[in-house]
């Protein structure tokens, strides 16, 4: 029968600690997204959302937080009766948007936009400078 070599506890903790740190460092980061806010007056604001990773949507059957990385575009329906989300796989979901403002970090600074002024939101992967 073969015996394993004795490893002092301190060395074992150091070895396991290094393995754990390397495992955390190699974890893939969530892709950053950019939003293009097309406003009802025809203007457009492009930037990265601040403190927002998902759009809260209330449907007839549940309230759901939709991750921005899954959304292709979203906007209000005719007469602003509902808010429709079109996913990257072409599925759609309609409900009431549970958000009043959207804060966006643009190349000129931060802008807070009332969603009553937004006609459409287009989501895309953030470009690297």
Q: What is the mean pLDDT of residues 115-126?
A: 91
Q: What is the mean pLDDT of residues 111-119?
A: 92
Phi and psi for 94 in degrees, rounded to 5?
Answer: -120, 140
Domain span at 95:
33-125
Q: What is the mean pLDDT of residues 94-113?
A: 93
Q: Where residue 34 falls among pLDDT bands split at 50, 70, 90?
A: very high
Phi and psi for 65 in degrees, rounded to 5?
Answer: -100, 115
Within a domain: residue 11?
no
Within a domain: residue 113?
yes
pLDDT in tens, 38-80: 999 999 999 999 989 999 999 999 999 999 999 999 999 888 8
Within a domain: residue 76?
yes
How many domains does the chain contain in total?
1
DSSP 60-80: SS-EEEEEGGGEEEEEE-GGG
């Amino acid at each position: 029968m073969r015996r394993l070599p004795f490893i002092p506890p301190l060395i074992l903790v150091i070895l396991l600690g290094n393995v754990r740190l390397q495992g955390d460092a190699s974890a893939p980061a969530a892709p950053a997204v950019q939003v293009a806010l097309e406003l009802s007056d025809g203007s457009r604001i492009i930037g990265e959302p601040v403190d927002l990773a998902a759009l809260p949507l209330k449907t007839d059957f549940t309230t759901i937080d939709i991750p921005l990385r899954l959304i292709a575009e979203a906007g209000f329906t005719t007469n602003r009766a509902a808010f429709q989300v079109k996913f990257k796989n072409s599925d759609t979901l309609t409900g009431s948007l549970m958000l009043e403002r959207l804060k966006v970090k643009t190349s000129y600074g931060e802008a807070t936009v009332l969603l009553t002024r937004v006609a459409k939101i287009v989501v895309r992967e953030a470009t690297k400078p």
